[in-house]
Structure 1
Amino acid sequence: MQTVSEVMTRDVKNISPEETVRRAAQMMDELNVGSLPVCDGPKLVGMITDRDITIRSTAKGQAPETTRVGDVMSPQVRTCYESQSVDEVLREMGDSQIRRVPVVDQASHSLVGIVSLGDFAVRHAGTTDEALEEISAPSEGSRAKLN
């Protein structure tokens, strides 16, 4: 059984909830990523995505220089542990339609890494097809297709 610790990315950059949305966007650009874990010290308190910035901040006319990450981040974050099996986490990702999951220490809930669908595709001996299909399926909240 392969575990998350064998495929996850360690030394993940994170951002404080007190930082500005502009800084979050700059970090995403520098790191070529679409999301950042939000940590208060070592403890994971949320995630901020490029979509959070667009929908929760920019679309509402908030100033990126003064809007704080903590005001637009997603505080409820699915996490996993290093010791969990890859198959279990892949199933959960498919069920929740998410492409990346922060990996936290079981005791302290501090961030120790992140695992993405790409990590599984590159480093996992099994298949990611089923998870990819579930993650990519339109969610109930998706907008209706235009005719």
Structure 2
Amino acid sequence: MEVGKCMTRRVQVANPEQSIRDVAQMMSKLDAGAMPVGDDDRLVGMITDRDIVVRGVALGKGPDAKVRDVMSAEVKYCFDDEEIESVLENMGDLQVRRLPVLNRDKRLVGIVSLGDLATNGEAIEAAAALSGISKPGGEHSQTAH
């Protein structure tokens, strides 16, 4: 099955010039821990609740700091026509629980989470991805870098 058949299509997008307070409030309303960051219909980053805390609050940035100051600019993504199995493997390797989904014109068309994939008949592959995601290390690890 292709990712485009099980992804979330209506995705709220943060703007790099928004304050982290605004984005945190958006995340709260959406009950989401991550949001794509877009500028002029292009994906330019991802921001997570953890980014706001670790790159924002912990470094003394206030609630009016800009999204661009705390977001991850190196965005990992998948394409809507990719097979779920390969995306799950990639998520495990990257140690991420969600990926923005782009079409082949590199326009944001959705977001896919490990949960989306697990509930669409790919439970065994999702479990393997979760095993990779849960390994110590990775970009968001609590171990010393």
Q: TM-score, normalised by structure 1?
A: 0.91
* 1:143 CA drift (Å): 2.1
SS in 1 for 2:79: coil
* 1:121 CA drift (Å): 1.0
Q: Output the CA distance in 1 between the equivalents of 2:127 and 2:115.
A: 12
> Which segments of 5 or more consecutive residues in structure 1 lack a partner in the other structure?
none
SS in 2 for 1:33: coil
* 1:137 CA drift (Å): 1.4
Matches within 5 A, 1:8-47: 8-47=7-46
SS in 2 for 1:115: strand
Indicate the residue corresponding to 1:137 in structure 2: 135
Q: Output the CA distance in 1 between the equivalents of 2:114 and 2:63.
A: 30
* 1:125 CA drift (Å): 4.3
Does the 8 A contact of 1:7 with 1:124 survive in 2? Answer: no
Q: Output the CA distance in 2 between the equivalents of 1:143 and 1:44.
A: 29
The root-mean-square deviation of aligned C-alpha atoms, in Å, is: 1.4
Moved over 4 A (4+): none
Matches within 5 A, 1:48-87: 48-65=47-64, 67-87=65-85
Q: Output the CA distance in 2 between the equivalents of 1:100 and 1:125.
A: 15
* 1:124 CA drift (Å): 3.0
Q: Output the CA distance in 2 between the equivalents of 1:96 and 1:83.
A: 19
Bigger Rg, which one: 1
Indicate the residue corresponding to 1:124 in structure 2: 121
Mapped pair 1:111 → 2:93: no
* 1:3 CA drift (Å): 0.7
Q: Output the CA distance in 2 between the equivalents of 1:126 and 1:117.
A: 10
SS in 2 for 1:55: helix
Does the 8 A contact of 1:37 with 1:44 survive in 2? Answer: yes
* 1:126 CA drift (Å): 5.2
Q: TM-score, normalised by structure 2?
A: 0.92
Identity of aligned residues (%): 45
